[in-house]
Amino acid sequence: MGPIAVVLVGQIAIIPLLRGKSWFVRALYGALFLWCAFFVFTRLHDDVFGGNVRFGWAEHSVPRYLTPVYLLAALPPLLFLGHCRRILLYPGLLVAVAVAGAGLYEVGVRQPSSFEYLHEYVPKNQELLDKLKTDIPEHAMVYTVTSDKVIWSAWSLGTIDDLNLSASSMVRAFKAGFNVYILDPKFESPSHHRLANVLAKKQFLVSAVNTRRGVYRLQQGVTLWPASSQF
């Protein structure tokens, strides 16, 4: 968040850039500012991944949605440096390089989903993916809460978020001819029983395939909840 804060402060450079400009040019800059503010405001809400947290990370959806604003925000400080004399130009360039380096460090090393983390993540989870292939057939549709980054390359993927929407999606996939599986190591916990209850109302049940790995299969039928070997 440090580099972003510096870029935000750098918007002060707009003041000297607009000094001596016509009112028409200033109006264009003002319109661009209002557009950026509206663009940001319409994308910051609780339904966006990362929109309801106080400290954002690169893995959240918000930074991706706001990329055009980030790019535009870098222009005023750079344009200001282009008008500076050497006594301000060189220190300003050093600050710009430092901000760029700090941003690269954030994305490359420090962030939870940094490039360094991803390089370690792939081989670490390849072993898990190979084991899951013994439990789940090749052309299955697999629904998961958090393991999408592990299984996306092996099966058709569905995500579990809203229980009613997810259950309806599973039923549609089943009726389309897919073998539908759920990958969720926490599925047996009380907080996850609600999904099984929603599926039961649609006359579908979830049977355990490998509880240690959190693999379950969707089947059509009705069962009492809970059962000893079915969830």
All structural domains of the chain with their residue ranges: 2-113, 128-220
- pLDDT on residue 192: 62
Task: Take residue 158 and report the two structure tokens written for it.
Answer: 């569905």
Q: Looking at the predicted structure, is the pLDDT value of residue 109 above 50?
A: yes
- pLDDT on residue 225: 44
- pLDDT on residue 169: 94
- pLDDT on residue 1: 52
pTM above 0.75, yes or no: no
C-beta neighbour count of 227 within 10 angstroms: 12
Q: How confident is the model at residue 224 (pLDDT cuts 50, 70, 90)?
A: very low
Q: How confident is the model at residue 188 (pLDDT cuts 50, 70, 90)?
A: low
Q: How confident is the model at residue 227 (pLDDT cuts 50, 70, 90)?
A: very low
The average pLDDT across 85-111 equals 83
d(C-alpha 115, C-alpha 138), whole Å: 29
Note the pLDDT tens digit of each residue in 145-164. 888 878 888 899 998 888 88
- pLDDT on residue 230: 43
Least confident interval from 86-90, 110-114, 127-131, 225-229: 225-229
Q: How confident is the model at residue 177 (pLDDT cuts 50, 70, 90)?
A: very high
Q: Are 191 and 160 in contact (CB under 8 A)?
A: no
* Residue with token string 């050497």: 86
Q: Looking at the predicted structure, is the pLDDT value of residue 99 above 70?
A: yes
Greatest C-alpha distance within the chain:
79
The average pLDDT across 40-55 equals 75
Q: Are 64 and 71 in contact (CB under 8 A)?
A: no
